[in-house]
Amino acid sequence: MNPMLTSLIPQQIIEDACEWALMHGVAFRQADNTARHCPFSLAPMTMERKVYEHLLKVTPLITKLISNVSEDHGFLQSSLSDVAKADPFFGRLMELHQQAHGSAVERLNPARQPLLLMRTDFMDDRQHGAKVIEFNGIAAGMAPFGQRATEFHAFMQNQWPNVYNDWLEDPSATPAENQGLKQLAYGIATSARKVRADFNDSDKPTFLMVVQKNEDNVYDQHLLEIELQKQGVRTVRRTFEQLSCQLSSGDNQRLLLKDVGAVDVVYLRAGYQYSDYWAPELNESVCCHTLSQTRLFMEQHHVAMNATISQQLATSKTMQMLLTMMPAAEYARWDLKLEEAELVKSVLADMKPITSESIDWFNTQTDKQEWVLKNQGEGGGHCVFGDDISEQLSQLKPEEYDAWALMQRLYPHERDVPTIAVRDTQQTLVTDLVSEVGLFTAYYKGEPVTELGGYAGYLIRSKPASENEGGIHSGKGILDSLVLINS
């Protein structure tokens, strides 16, 4: 065996790499307001070019589907009403949706203009090929880190070619281009200028990022802001709580922010979990009322909005299950031709609702390692694996069943060559690394809004196969990039 692969590499190179990461904003904020570099892999993952190209073809179709589903308010309300009863947060979102869009008897048309910024996450299963893990329609972050990871591996290749090549799986592999940061900003900036133009206003457009109060993932957010500033957009950040007393309406449903003026784009990096709407200081008689109404208020204005309440519902785990269980022909309702629908269906992994029958079936007739149990939670920590599934199912009350679903468990290829994972400037050898591939897309009012036909770029997160969850921010994941080989 190559001795390089049994001994770790000089610490000086690791320090160089960590300093590159910090200098380029690939970091998290710590409680004492210092930065800690984001954990990363020293060498990229490999994928067959044809698999990647297939995903590039399918992902914009998925985005078109989600975009159209999210504007089909009757369908959202009728298909998701059971989940609303089973999950209190989902119920709150459905109430907001009804406030914004009315009911079948009386439809309302809030003035917001949908800006869909989506990350579709895939795993390349050994047996079944690349399949979707989930859709992320709200707060789908880390496009900046994704682009930076590709740049970081280019830095390694240039600066430490011997090390890079030693740890690369296939010497013929070439990097997959990644403009995630630039193209996402392009999509946002283009939408912002369109909204400005709707008001015949030629001033610099304004982008409002709604953030959580004690956010530690601030550098990923700032990288996006800096790119937007470069592309001619003014950026501001506020929490829901700050916004609850700083917003007002101008002429023609213009959204106005105190001391700033008109807002053209609202981008939510908060609002995907109940706690984001919880404001103990406000002493509310109904929990979460004020901050959820703040979100609704923004939707009632002529502003490019990501995520709309509808987009959040359309990218939920339950909607993923419904779309998976539906015959391809039914996608015609959302303007997909049959061959487009079949392409989308080809990357959706089996999902099953939780019922007393499916629980029986799971407990007696299937291999527990072949399934994952998940609820509507976002942001990591909501999935149950293997033997724990039966235990979790036995604890559910029947009225909670509709909040959960079983999903076919995917087993991606493990990397053939070991990799060095770097965390807190320490290197560890990982011999069984697997990767999750997130593809970003941007659509404004149902149309692609990047220079790459709606596609923006990618985020690769890798983890040891033995770890269940691979979030970089919340789990055991490391930031990674992608190289392609011709098979």
Q: Is 87 in the site for ligand ADP (CB under 6 A)?
A: no
Stretch that binds ligand ADP, among 66-74, 308-316, 408-416, 425-433 (CB under 6 A): 408-416
Q: Is 470 in the site for ligand ADP (CB under 6 A)?
A: yes
**Which of 139, 453, 94 is closest to 266 using CA atoms?**
139
Binding ligand ADP by CB under 6 A: which of 37, 193, 374, 415? 374
Q: Which is nearer to ligand ADP, 237 or 382 (CB)?
A: 382
H helix or E strand, kind and range, residue 124: strand 113-125
Q: Is 410 in the site for ligand ADP (CB under 6 A)?
A: yes
Tallying the residues shown for the chain, one arrives at 487
Q: Is 383 in the site for ligand ADP (CB under 6 A)?
A: yes
Which residues lie across from 229 on neighbouring strands?
A: none
CA distances from 420 to 278, 425, 480, 481 (A): 41, 11, 11, 14
CB of 439 to ligand ADP, least distance (A): 14
CB of 98 to ligand ADP, least distance (A): 24
| Residues whose CB falls within 8 Å of the CB of residue 198, separated by 6 or more in sequence, listed in order | 302
Q: Is 124 in the site for ligand ADP (CB under 6 A)?
A: no
Stretch that binds ligand ADP, among 148-156, 257-265, 361-369, 371-379 (CB under 6 A): 371-379
CB of 350 to ligand ADP, least distance (A): 9
End-to-end Cα separation, the chain, in angstroms: 25
Q: Which is nearer to ligand ADP, 71 or 378 (CB)?
A: 378
36 burial (CB, 10 Å; 0-12 / 13-18 / 19+) is middle
CB of 180 to ligand ADP, least distance (A): 18
Q: Is 460 in the site for ligand ADP (CB under 6 A)?
A: no
H helix or E strand, kind and range, residue 31: none
Distance from CA of residue 69 to its chain's centroid?
18
DSSP-assigned letters across all residues of 445-480: TTEE-STBTTEEEEEEEEEETT-S---TTTSS-EEE
Task: Tally Cβ neighbours within 10 Å of residue 386.
Answer: 15
Binding ligand ADP by CB under 6 A: which of 246, 370, 469, 473? 469
Stretch that binds ligand ADP, among 83-91, 273-281, 372-380, 449-457 (CB under 6 A): 372-380
Q: Is 379 in the site for ligand ADP (CB under 6 A)?
A: yes
Q: Which phi and psi angles does 145 have, rounded to 5°?
A: -65, -35
Stretch that binds ligand ADP, among 38-46, 150-158, 370-378, 398-406 (CB under 6 A): 370-378
Q: Is 409 in the site for ligand ADP (CB under 6 A)?
A: yes
CB of 471 to ligand ADP, least distance (A): 6
Q: How far apart are CA 247 and CA 254, in angstroms?
A: 10
Q: Is 29 in the site for ligand ADP (CB under 6 A)?
A: no
281 burial (CB, 10 Å; 0-12 / 13-18 / 19+) is exposed
- Estimate the share of the chain in helix, then strand, then coil, as percent rounded to the nearest 5: 40, 25, 35
CB of 306 to ligand ADP, least distance (A): 17
CB of 376 to ligand ADP, least distance (A): 9
Q: Is 134 in the site for ligand ADP (CB under 6 A)?
A: yes
CB of 408 to ligand ADP, least distance (A): 6
Binding ligand ADP by CB under 6 A: which of 36, 49, 222, 382? 382
Q: Is 380 in the site for ligand ADP (CB under 6 A)?
A: yes
Task: Tally Cβ neighbours within 10 Å of residue 15.
Answer: 12
Touching ligand ADP, residues 266-305 (CB under 6 A): none
424 burial (CB, 10 Å; 0-12 / 13-18 / 19+) is exposed
Name the residue with tokens 């449903």. Answer: 253
Stretch that binds ligand ADP, among 223-231, 292-300, 325-333, 467-475 (CB under 6 A): 467-475
Binding ligand ADP by CB under 6 A: which of 133, 188, 307, 323? 133
Stretch that binds ligand ADP, among 112-120, 184-192, 273-281, 375-383 (CB under 6 A): 375-383
Task: Tally Cβ neighbours within 10 Å of residue 414.
Answer: 14
Interface residue list for ligand ADP (CB under 6 A)? 121, 133-134, 372, 374, 377-380, 382-383, 407-410, 436, 468-470
